[in-house]
Amino acid sequence: MNAAGAGSAHPPDEPDGPGPVTLSLGAARRRLAVDMLGIVASTSAFGVVFGLSAAQRGHFSLVETVAMSVIVFAGASQFAGVSLVAAGTPWPAIVLLTGLLNIRHLLYSAALAPWFKAVPRARRAVMAHVLTDEAFALSLAHFRRLGRADVGGYWLAAIGSTFIPWNIATIVGFLGGQSIVAPERFGLDVVFPAAMAGLAVGLVTGRREIVAIGAGVTISLVVALAWDARIAVVAGGLLGPLVGLAVPERRAATRRGASAGSGASGPTDDGPDVAGARDPLP
Partner 1 sequence: MSVELVGLALLMGAVTYPARALPLLAPGIERLPRIALAYLRLVGPAVLGALAAVNTVIVTDDAGAAHVQLGVGWLAVGCCIAIVAVRRNLFLGLVVAVAVAALARAANLA
- Give the footprint of partner 1 on residues 229-268 (CB under 8 A): 229, 232-233, 235-242, 244-245, 249, 257-262, 264
Least distance in angstroms from the C-beta of 65 to partner 1: 8
Among 25, 33, 93, 224, binds partner 1 (CB under 8 A): 224
CA separation for the pair 99, 81 (Å, rounded): 11
Query: Residue 1 interacts with partner 1 (CB under 8 A)?
Result: no
SS3 string, 255-277, reads: HHHCCCCHHHHCCCCCCCCCCCC
Among 23, 33, 62, 93, binds partner 1 (CB under 8 A): 62
Nearer to partner 1, 31 or 102 (CB): 102
Among 3, 12, 26, 125, binds partner 1 (CB under 8 A): 125
CA separation for the pair 145, 17 (Å, rounded): 11
Q: What is the number of alpha carbons within 13 Å of residue 166 lying toward its C-beta?
A: 30
Query: Residue 168 interacts with partner 1 (CB under 8 A)?
Result: no
Nearer to partner 1, 18 or 280 (CB): 280
Q: How many residues bind partner 1 (CB under 8 A)?
A: 113
Least distance in angstroms from the C-beta of 50 to partner 1: 12
Least distance in angstroms from the C-beta of 192 to partner 1: 6
- Closest C-alpha among 230, 242, 224, 257 to residue 100: 242
Nearer to partner 1, 20 or 116 (CB): 116
Of 23-31, 73-81, 140-148, 170-178, the window that binds partner 1 (rule: CB under 8 A) is 73-81
- Closest C-alpha among 134, 281, 260, 257 to residue 201: 260
Tell me how far CA of residue 202 lies from CA of 5, 189, 275, in angstroms. Answer: 34, 21, 12
Query: Residue 81 interacts with partner 1 (CB under 8 A)?
Result: yes
Among 56, 98, 161, 170, binds partner 1 (CB under 8 A): 98
Nearer to partner 1, 21 or 225 (CB): 225
Angle at 90 between CA 87 and CA 91, to 5 degrees: 115
Q: Which segments of 147-206 does DSSP mark as H helices, in order?
A: 151-155, 164-178, 191-202
Query: Residue 40 interacts with partner 1 (CB under 8 A)?
Result: no
Query: Residue 7 interacts with partner 1 (CB under 8 A)?
Result: no
Return the residues of window 105-124 that contact partner 1 according to CB under 8 A: 105-110, 112-114, 116, 121, 124
Query: Residue 91 interacts with partner 1 (CB under 8 A)?
Result: yes
Are the beta carbons of 154 and 121 closer than 8 angstroms? no
CA separation for the pair 111, 189 (Å, rounded): 38
Q: Is 130 exposed, middle or buried (0-12, 13-18, 19+ CB in 10 A)?
A: middle
